[in-house]
């Protein structure tokens, strides 16, 4: 396994290894344990072969059902994080790689998402504190699913690989006691990485509007992530939401590179 966090598998966008990040204890996160990614619709057979060669054995899809299997009246037009119109995701996930759907957004809570949209919190870490407060059980469901995966690398993704994926990455890295500045820096890498995905999809870059919303609150994405983590006891939070101590220990053990 390479010690680089950069992932250049064919057809993957906004994808990186969560390994190699510093923890407060002086350890680092393990390479090849967890990967974050965006929409997988462009992944080729070669890309899947590269992912499997690098140890990926489970894919967790954080999107809502109507993003994966669109209906005539998609609910995500009104609710949820950064959604994309569903499309063919390229070749089927290869044999030997499991796929699990764990929708993070609670799209049935229309009032919650109307508040998020009205306050212009979408597309940035500005929505993380309110989501963590209101949707602990959704966060717990993802962590529990991760804890129960078979050995091997776990790749989790949503649409942009920024909002929902970023929140799960924050939880995992906080559980590993990664330095807040490193967690924030990982989040901000998506802004540049997403330009290629938007270009491939033929859609406008969302970056300028998100930057404007952050600037209106006199903050940055990095500062918003650090503010989310300030005083946040991730272990207590997840235990309170129903994750067991054994499940937390399992995820943490997979995250940390032991001496």
Residue ranges in the chain modelled with pLDDT below 50: 1-3, 72-78, 88-89
User: Domain 16-257 adopts which CATH fold?
Assistant: 3.90.190
pLDDT of residue 69: 78
pLDDT of residue 93: 84
One-character DSSP codes across 221-259: HHHHHHHHHTT--HHHHHHHTT--HHHHHHHHHHHEE--
pLDDT of residue 72: 45
pLDDT of residue 95: 87
pLDDT of residue 83: 57
pLDDT of residue 78: 45
Residue boundaries of the structural domains of the chain: 16-257
pLDDT of residue 258: 72
């Amino acid at each position: 396994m390479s010690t680089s966090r950069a992932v250049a598998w064919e057809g993957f966008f906004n994808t990186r290894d969560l390994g190699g990040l510093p923890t407060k204890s002086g350890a680092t996160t393990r390479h090849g344990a967890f990967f974050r990614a965006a929409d997988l619709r462009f992944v080729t057979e070669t890309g899947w072969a590269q992912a499997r060669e690098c140890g990926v054995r489970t894919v967790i899809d954080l999107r809502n059902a109507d993003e994966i299997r669109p209906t005539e009246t998609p609910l995500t037009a009104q609710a949820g994080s950064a959604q994309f119109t569903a499309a063919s995701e390229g070749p089927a996930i290869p044999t030997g790689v499991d796929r699990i759907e764990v929708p993070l957004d609670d799209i049935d809570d229309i009032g919650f998402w109307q508040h998020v949209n009205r306050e212009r919190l979408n597309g940035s870490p500005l929505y993380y504190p309110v989501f963590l407060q209101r949707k602990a059980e959704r966060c717990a469901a993802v962590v529990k699913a991760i804890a129960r995966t078979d050995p091997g690398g776990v790749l989790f993704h949503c649409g942009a690989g920024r909002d929902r994926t970023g929140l799960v990455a924050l939880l995992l890295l906080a559980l590993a006691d990664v330095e807040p500045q490193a967690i924030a820096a990982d989040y901000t890498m998506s802004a540049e990485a997403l330009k290629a995905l938007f270009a491939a999809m033929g859609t406008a870059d969302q970056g300028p509007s998100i930057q404007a919303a952050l600037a209106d609150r006199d903050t940055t994405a990095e500062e918003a992530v650090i503010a989310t983590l300030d005083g946040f006891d991730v272990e207590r939070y997840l235990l309170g939401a129903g994750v067991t101590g054994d499940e937390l220990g399992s995820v943490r053990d997979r995250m940390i590179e032991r001496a």
